[in-house]
Amino acid sequence: MKFFIDTANLEDIAEAQALGVLDGVTTNPSLMAKEGITGEDNIINHYKKICDIVEGDVSAEVISTDFEGMVKEGEALAALHPQIVVKLPLIADGIKACKYFSDKGIRTNVTLVFSAGQALLAAKAGATYVSPFLGRLDDISTDGLNLIAEIRQIYDNYGFNTQILAASIRHTMHVIDCAKIGSDVMTGPLSSIKGLLKHPLTDIGLAKFLEDYKKGNS
Ligand code: E4P
């Protein structure tokens, strides 16, 4: 299972990268705005900085909602760095653009996916990644994990190569449950990755080992 971090915060990205388990980064316009990154030039520079920190895929989202605009923006983003994956919204023009990029060998992440039917369309259009938003479904009392399981079954039935990128992850249990279902990738905040480290018995056990070492060597 690949671990992506879902943020535009360079410190968090660097911390996850230093941990040695990071496979990539996802961003979106809201995450950029949260970091105060506004304006085309600043956003482009920020993507370059992210690519300098991580070794894996970096999703960069288009703002256009029409096919021509998405193609223009996506081509410019893909040309920025080999690690860039063009992130497209799941609307009709986004699917058309996904097929266009797929035919050209440019990698895509189809985002804002909330149903199995949408995920099937993204796979048919040759998406590299599909991003079902599990946390946002949970927020409205709908089982987000069930969507991940449905997509897994559909993709396995037909051998689609599109990777399931479980997005809108909120906590460590989402990560673990997605791993159990067989999601190819998860993207979440730094806390969802670091949370996996925690177990009180690890802390207690380590303290005891160190205490016993000191006793034996004093
Ligand atoms: C996915 O790529 C999105 O950036 C993200 O996971 C959305 O998460 P949120 O629902 O926490 O905003």
How many helical (H) and strand (E) elements, i.e. helices and strands, does the chain have?
A: 11, 8
Among residues 87, 99, 208, 215, which one is catalytic?
87
110 close to 128: Cβ distance less than 8 angstroms:
no
pLDDT tier at 162, thresholds 50, 70, 90: very high
Distance between CA 168 and CA 157 in Å, rounded? 25
Q: What digits encode the pLDDT tens for the residues 52-90? A: 999 999 999 999 999 999 999 999 999 999 999 999 999
Residue with tokens 């960069």: 60
Q: Say yes or no to pLDDT of 218 above 90.
A: no
Cβ(57) – ligand 1 distance below 6 Å: no
7 close to 169: Cβ distance less than 8 angstroms:
no
* Nearest atom in ligand 1 to 170's CA: 11
Question: Mean of the per-residue pLDDT values for the chain?
Answer: 97
* 87 labelled catalytic: yes
Q: What digits encode the pLDDT tens for the residues 82-138? A: 999 999 999 999 999 999 999 999 999 999 999 999 999 999 999 999 999 999 999
Q: Say yes or no to pLDDT of 20 above 90.
A: yes
Phi, psi at residue 133, to the nearest 5°?
Answer: -95, 90
**DSSP 8-state class, residue 196:** G
